Chains A and B, each alone.
Chain A
């Protein structure tokens, strides 16, 4: 019994060493992306608590699939692909959560950030929260995270043509949310996005 245990020892140590190396590797290449994952998850889910869960789940799945990950492939795009899958899976599981319906921060509500320079950018960021999930997703990936259309297509598992038209519609929707004088009625594509939001909210 003792002999068996001693014989096992080098094997055991080797495994621990390998596991440690794998973990160090993973932490080195994956964890630096956790902030941008969290930023996107927050804007996507509109729920900071849920966002942390989504990112933790994403990184854990990435860790479990890390052996299948080939070096040289795009780690950032891979992680975002997992995040979007986790987010969509989550939406199906949890229909009963209260729905946060952000109000486009009104000009009638005279609340302003003291830093005048930031107000426009902040207003645009808030306007993003009022768009449909699909539109938020492409804008976050292409504009904020700087992924190419091809990468966005891979992350969302949709054809590149869909990414292009979705991006165009999302930019229009964002602009009409920021500029109240640009009426949404002029944009049929945006209206269908809104209907989807109403359906989710009810």
Chain B
């Protein structure tokens, strides 16, 4: 057995699928080849980390289970009537079946029309209010913005820290995205403007994932979402949730999000 054969059959060795003779040859090679043995050890460590990292992400399947039970119940209610022979009283069957069908449509409709995402709302809001400049009652006075920000649970130091070099906070207002209140801030460098949507972190991530009671609550996330002409850079720290929206580029969104992440982290650390 040579080293490349070892590397090739490593997945089978790991899962215990090699036959005894080949497994013994594999083990003999590992005993004599420190390079392959080290490689196997490093991969095993990485596997362990991956497994514990993924399993640390606690999932709650209660809603899925409930949904499945409900759909099964509805299918069962509709099912016995399908196989019914002719000449039997049908009207009741039809009534029940159509009731079941309408329930299915209602449930199915709710199931299929997923909630509008917070990302789509943020992109549309930025497009309408900042790019197309539809008139909105903005706050522009710094002290008014500071008290608006405080009233929304966002410490004013955060909104100042979010301005990258060359940019200043131009205006602010309160808005709702996907049914949740956000503080909408617009930063400008004279030529370019971008939006920042801020809210204190709660038990749901932006994507709607519940983190209540799980370790994910104390975790930080940073990612970008491209949404048509709008580019979102999202940062979720243990204390704050921020979406930066720019119509410039995905790269710009990523840079702004990194800056915001660093700003939020250091503002938290300093106070």
Chain A contact residues: helix, strand, loop or mixed: helix
**Given A34-B64, A59-B64, A121 and B52 contact (CB-CB distance below 8 Å):** yes
Q: Are A163 and B114 in contact (CB under 8 A)?
A: no
Segment at the A interface, from B8-16, B95-103, B194-202: B8-16
Size category of the B interface is: 35 or more
Q: Say whether A191 faces chain B, with CB atoms less than 8 Å apart.
A: no
Task: Determine the chain B residues whose CB is within 8 A of the CB of A168 once the complex forms.
Answer: 7-8, 10-11
Task: Determine the chain A residues whose CB is within 8 A of the CB of B79 once the complex forms.
Answer: 19
Q: Are A149 and B11 in contact (CB under 8 A)?
A: yes
Give chain A nearest CB distance to B74 CB in angstroms. 10
Task: Determine the chain B residues whose CB is within 8 A of the CB of A187 once the complex forms.
Answer: none
Q: Say whether A52 faces chain B, with CB atoms less than 8 Å apart.
A: yes
Give chain B nearest CB distance to A30 CB in angstroms. 9
Task: Determine the chain A residues whose CB is within 8 A of the CB of B46 once the complex forms.
Answer: 124, 171, 174-175, 178
Segment at the A interface, from B153-161, B168-176, B222-230: B222-230
Q: Which of B189-215 contact A (CB under 8 A)?
A: 205, 207-209, 215
Q: Say whether B180 faces chain A, with CB atoms less than 8 Å apart.
A: no
**Given A113-B215, A148-B15, A171 and B65 contact (CB-CB distance below 8 Å):** no
Q: Say whether A82 faces chain B, with CB atoms less than 8 Å apart.
A: no
Q: Are A108 and B258 in contact (CB under 8 A)?
A: yes
Q: Say whether A110 faces chain B, with CB atoms less than 8 Å apart.
A: yes
Q: Are A4 and B117 in contact (CB under 8 A)?
A: no
**Which residue of A52, A60, A105, A174 contacts B220 across the interface (Cβ within 8 Å)?**
A105
Give chain A nearest CB distance to B211 CB in angstroms. 10
Task: Determine the chain A residues whose CB is within 8 A of the CB of B71 once the complex forms.
Answer: 56, 60
Task: Determine the chain B residues whose CB is within 8 A of the CB of A34 once the complex forms.
Answer: 61, 64-65, 68
**Given A12-B80, A39-B59, A42-B59, A171 and B43 contact (CB-CB distance below 8 Å):** yes
**Which residue of B59, B89, B226, B250 contacts A5 across the interface (Cβ within 8 Å)?**
B89
**Which residue of B49, B88, B222 contacts A106 across the interface (Cβ within 8 Å)?**
B222
Q: Say whether B67 faces chain A, with CB atoms less than 8 Å apart.
A: yes
Write 20 A-B pairs (CB below 8 A) sorted by A numbering.
A4-B88, A8-B88, A19-B76, A23-B72, A26-B72, A27-B69, A39-B57, A47-B207, A48-B208, A53-B111, A56-B111, A109-B222, A118-B56, A121-B50, A124-B46, A124-B49, A140-B54, A147-B15, A149-B15, A164-B8
